Amino acid sequence: MFNDDYKDYIRLCSIQDVGHITAMRLINFFGSPTEVFNASKADLMQVEKVGARTANSIIENKDKIDVEKICQRMSALGARYIHIGMSSYPTLLRKIPDPPIGFYVIGDYDFSMPCISIIGSRNCSVYGQITARKFASALSRAGFAIVSGMARGIDSCAHFGALEAGGKTVAVLGCGADVIYPPENGELYNRIISDGAIVSEFPLGSRADKQNFPIRNRIVAGLSLATLVVESDTKGGSMITARIAGEQGRDVFAIPGRIDQASSRGCNALIRDGVRLATCPEDIIDELKFSGQLEISFDTQDKKSSTEKKVDTPKPTINLVGDQAVIYKCFETLDTADVDTISEKSQLPPHKCLPILTMLELKKILIKDAGGKWRKRL
């Protein structure tokens, strides 16, 4: 299951003096972790910003990393390690300026699913908690996975909101993937594994050190089409993540708050400085669709025409399946229609059509006019 090349990626990223930027420089220079370990000290020092200390650390520690023990631990956890040389490495994450060489994953999760990160203050208000859950639930029902950091406050509320809606959620940790932090989130940790993934680039067993959190924030933003800041003061991890998301070229949204509340000062400042204001989940979906970052596709039993866009740079899609796809296909021949007409066309009972039509409206695929008739928006 674990070949030598795979193990060498784990080995390289487990050496304490080799961060993700240095590891990337080494791999780009030598071609693979295996060749890094075959290099002499003089060869290693030819790499940009690799000095004698780092070169010595690689040479001295490469055989001290017990990769077999790490692999056994991974097997016991049901974990996997995804490195940048694998086709399963997330496409969006690969595009950021400083992607992780690899990361540990616990949970059966497909990283091709479109994601939105929801972040905010640990010391949040009740308004922030409710808003984070509301947005996470609605965006989950619209087909997005919710990414956050499993911290206290807004992060935890975002994860719970996604899970309550039956959606997927990804927690990016500032510690090892096998370390539950904060410790009171044990139940949430297990639920995320069942309906999403726990992700960390830090070695298994790593404790939650303060310096790890700004490092992991680039992954939170990097996995996502957009980042939503629910509540934040002007300083803190959420503001760092928002800045990183902007630098990565991703959309950033903020929830407005009271001007006399410290936990809203950061969001209000972001909006003042040009970040998009979000008052409802549809604001985010609209922006992503009309900026061309998101496409809608549907899947029925007839799969003859599956790819119409470029194969080399596919855009994230929200897939319509089952009855949603059946109703959507009705509008290939209908310009506008009421529920009864849609029921007749789809051969689904009216009481079943209505909630599906409402869901398609939430996804901004259909629109309902003043007369109660539905039409395709795209």
pLDDT in tens, 330-343: 988 888 899 889 99
The answer to whether the CB of 224 falls within 8 A of the CB of 250 is yes
Peptide bond into 350 cis (omega under 30): no
Q: What pLDDT does residue 304 have?
A: 38
C-alpha distances out from residue 40 to 32, 46, 123, Å:
15, 10, 50
pTM: 0.79
* Cα 303–Cα 305–Cα 307 angle in degrees, nearest 5: 110
pLDDT bin (cut points 50, 70, 90) of residue 1 is low
**Averaged pLDDT, 126-147:** 95
pLDDT of residue 302: 40
- Cβ 277 vs Cβ 301: under 8 Å: no
Taking the CB of residue 58, how many other CB atoms lie within 10 A of it?
Answer: 22
Q: Is the pLDDT of residue 129 over 80?
A: yes
Q: Specify the higher pLDDT residue, 234 or 305.
A: 234
- pLDDT for 308 equals 38
The arrangement of strands across the sheet holding 366-368 comes to 336-337, 374-376, 366-368
3-state secondary structure of 151: coil
Cα–Cα dist 217/179, whole Å? 17
pLDDT for residue 289: 76
pLDDT for the residue 80: 97
How many CB atoms neighbour CB 82 within 10 A? 19
Tokens found for residue 229: 């800041």
- 307 against 220, higher pLDDT: 220
Work out the number of other CB atoms within 10 angstroms of the CB of residue 361.
15
Closest CA to 227 of 213, 212, 241: 241
Secondary structure of residue 352 in the 3-state scheme: helix
Per-residue confidence band for 317, with pLDDT thresholds at 50, 70 and 90: low
- Overall average pLDDT of the 150-160 stretch: 98
What ranges in 177-280 are assigned the alpha helix state H? 186-194, 212-222, 237-247, 265-272
Average pLDDT across the chain, whole number = 90
Whats the size of the chain, residue-wise?
378
Measured on CA atoms in the order 191, 197, 199, 204, is the torsion positive or negative?
positive
Each residue's pLDDT tens digit, 49-88 = 999 999 999 999 999 999 999 999 999 999 999 999 999 9
3-class secondary-structure state, position 139:
helix
CB–CB of 218/244 below 8 Å? Answer: yes
Contact criterion met (CB below 8 Å) for 116 and 226: yes
First to last CA, the chain: 45
Q: Six-digit token pair at 176?
A: 């090892």
SS3 content of the chain, % helix, strand, coil (to 5): 45, 15, 40
Decide: 328 and 365 in contact? Cβ < 8 Å: yes
Q: Give the pLDDT score at 320.
A: 75
CB neighbour list of residue 8: distance below 8 Å, 6 or more residues apart:
32, 33, 34, 36, 37
pLDDT category of residue 305 using cuts at 50, 70 and 90: very low
| Rounded distance between C-alpha atoms, residue 9 and residue 80, angstroms | 12
| Parallel/antiparallel/unpaired status of strands 145-148 and 169-172 | parallel
Mean pLDDT along residues 348-364: 81
